[in-house]
Structure 1
């Protein structure tokens, strides 16, 4: 996985994620089977040397079987603190994207990633992971949703 030390000497992992939105402007979320066991978006660590947009497309396909036919729209690039992972790191540098599906689809959530899934209107978002909560709270992101 891609990682680096920031200016303060802290180890930072690089993550990618995709907010998937249907024609009704609902957001696709699934419930994680691993810590922190909350609702999340398709996301994961970026591999070393992997283009962030391609990494996000890969994670989208791996976790939901959604094949992105159009390019993902960049939503957010930056550091999110408090985002713990099994690798023991609490800081992740995120590349988050938006992808619009053209019709309602039924995603195939990878069993080792999540159990339940659903389309949620912005006002009905359940308890989500810290990075998803952070992303959805950003004014620049909210304007696009």
Structure 2
């Protein structure tokens, strides 16, 4: 079920997130470039008129180089978070209060040599690793923690 990016939470930027599962059940984490302690899943904005799954696959390829995936699941509706009061940047300058996300789970079917953090120019991540899904809320920046808890609950059955 694809939601329209403009139906709910009009002050939240439409966004997609991807949890990439290794065949052994671990998940892919990228370390945000320039942030030594901020590990997260690939995520990014939805272009006007873009289907949510198309956006998820595009963001995954842009941020990780990965295209060899098998779809496993997706969240229903939006998982939203607000930007913290001290935040600044282009999204806030354009009037967004936060982001609303549709999350997709994919199984990685390729070889790790496919992972290329600089595949699309300026890297979003400067390191990557496989880890446990349940660790995600403790690895993400605090203002995204509740959203990541919802993602972990949604995809916990895939990590077994």
Which of the five TM-score ranges fits, normalised by the shorter chain? 0.7 to 0.9
**Equivalent residue runs for 1:31-46 within 5 Å:** 31-33=31-33, 38-46=38-46
Cα distance in structure 2, aligned partners of 1:132 and 1:49: 29
Contact 1:29 1:39 survives alignment (8 Å): yes
Cα distance in structure 1, aligned partners of 2:24 and 2:146: 21
Where does residue 52 of structure 2 map in the other structure? 52
Aligned length: 142
Higher helix proportion (structure 1 or 2): 2
- Higher alpha-carbon deviation: 123-132 or 80-89: 123-132
Where does residue 133 of structure 2 map in the other structure? 122
Show structure 1 runs of 5+ residues with no match.
Answer: none
Contact 1:18 1:43 survives alignment (8 Å): yes
Higher strand proportion (structure 1 or 2): 1
How many angstroms does 1:6 deviate by?
Answer: 5.1
- Higher alpha-carbon deviation: 74-83 or 46-55: 74-83
Show structure 2 runs of 5+ residues with no match.
Answer: none
Contact 2:12 2:80 survives alignment (8 Å): no
With normalisation by structure 1, the TM-score equals 0.77
Quick check: 1:101 aligned with 2:105? no
Q: Residue deviations 1:70-109, cap 9 Å, x none?
A: 3463134314122467411332221100000136524111
Q: Flag the 1:79–1:136 CA change in 2: closer, same or farther, 3 A.
A: closer
Where does residue 77 of structure 1 map in the other structure? 77
How many angstroms does 1:53 deviate by?
Answer: 0.3
